[in-house]
Amino acid sequence: MSDVGPIDPGYGAESALLSKWSLRPDGEPLTTPSSRVIPVRTADGVPAMLKLSRIDEERRGGALLLALDGRGAARVLRCEGDALLIERATGPQSLVGMVHDGDDADELATRILCAAGDRIHESSDDLLNRTPPLDLVPLDDWFRLLFAHADDLEPAHRRGADLALALLAHPRDRVVLHGDLHHGNVLDFGERGWLAIDPKGLVGESAFDRCNLLCNPSHSRALDPGRLERRFGVVVESTGLDAVRYARWVAAWGALSSTWFALDGDERHARGALEIGERALALSLAA
């Protein structure tokens, strides 16, 4: 038995770990096909999240979190097998909420997302030279479903695939990528600032990590009149990215994301992701 008392038997397989680490459930668990996440408190009352990975993608992201050791991302407090105990965000602010608070707040959220990516990328020299090496997925592999299905979908998918092939053939840099930076994956950790959660664990050109933020927190919100154009300008100004190359990355990302949705039978989101990419590409052509 844990020194924090008996564990609710409803937690099943996690009960032994909750007891072993002296954790008390502190909220409703979230269960997905890829993981199970339980809000907890430690014996000292520290809020944390107990995450149990179910697929390799989640395990890879957990290994990256562990290697980052709190640099730009939530810190892993403890780990064992597929289980991670991760510090919990308890700050009052939300990037998703900022999007609804007007253009200035939306711009600030965009800058925060860019800075979050920078902090992870800055650790690349260390992360890419570890022994044994981290298990990171190259962007060439990440785009594989787009390459495989581009000719079966819309012309914009083929265009996105061709752009991706050209970009991947001549990368401007090579860094460790979060892989899924958006408004729901960078949280307010109070005194620790804004930190990333749930990385995918990729490696490739840094511009890729600036793409998904243009699509969130929803496609409909991202496509509000003028929003994409403003965010695009903020990213280019904040990061120093070449606008034309960035637009091509966004178009490639939009085609990839659209492919995933299309293969899942989600035509509405497939269209939304494709439209975001095409609008970004049009921005570069008009420049």
Distance CA 74, CA 200 (A): 14
Q: Taking the chain, what is the end-to-end CA distance rounded to the nearest angstrom? A: 65
Q: What is the C-alpha R_g of the chain?
A: 20
Residue of 106, 180, 198, 209 marked active site: 180
56 is known as an active-site residue? no
For 147, the token pair is 């390459």
- The set of catalytic residues is 180
